[in-house]
Amino acid sequence: MISAGDFRNGVTFDDNGTVYQIIEFQHVKPGKGAAFVRAKIKNVITGGVIEKTFNPTEKFPTAYIERKDMQYVYNDGDLYYFMDLESYEQMPLNKEQLSDNFKFVKEEMICKVISYKGNVFGLEPPLFVELEVTATEPGFKGDTATGATKPATVETGAVVKVPLFIEEGEKIRIDTRTGEYMERA
């Protein structure tokens, strides 16, 4: 059990069957009245963020979110299969359980499958991936204004903005959290 007075950023707790994670919190002690805790909390299943106030003595059960490394094996229609690296069991996930940044994941990459009490609700791809550029327009001489970029399609089919000097066939490093080009690989 965790009391609202012990809230810290990143703590997960169960509130009437809904799992929340603390994004930010503030202990408020007004001049009149009792102290309270104002918190911005995120529903870890749906991703929705709300602000809520708590009495510092309120207690909630701690929610243990499991993050397990699994290898992306293949997809079959709307099902994406991941293999447990210890037991070699395969687990199918449907498209709704995958995050938007899954578009940077190619087969055989290791991802973190996120679950609560055995129910999978999300997936975290690696923070950085190295992918090959499969299609991009050539950069023209004279197009060298600071920060000039062009769209490039990588081997997973995702489109990323890259500098003008990047050409087809090159490997680039991408930050999957922002979807931005980082550097040549």
Q: In what order do the strands lie in the sheet with 128-136?
A: 159-163, 149-154, 128-136, 171-175, 180-184
- Domain borders along the chain are 2-60, 65-124, 129-184
Tokens of 153: 């399609």
Q: Is the whole-model pTM more than 0.95? A: no
Does the fold of domain 65-124 match that of domain 2-60? no
CATH architecture type of domain 2-60: Roll (2.30)
| Residue 1 CB burial class (10 angstroms; 0-12, 13-18, ≥19) | exposed
CA distances to 107, 121, 164 from 125, rounded to whole Å, are 12, 14, 27
Percentage of residues of the chain with pLDDT beyond 90: 16
Task: Fold for 129-184, please state it.
Answer: OB fold (Dihydrolipoamide Acetyltransferase, E2P) (2.40.50)
179: left (phi > 0), else alpha (psi -120 to 50), else beta?
left
Write down the CATH number for the domain with range 65-124: 2.40.50.140
CA-wise closest residue to 160 among 184, 126, 124? 184
- Among all chains, which residue has been given the structure tokens 């001049």? 31
What is the rounded CA–CA span in Å between residue 70 and residue 90? Answer: 9
Which tens digits make up the pLDDT trace of 108-158?
A: 899 988 888 877 877 888 889 999 999 888 866 655 656 678 889 999 888
DSSP state of 61: P
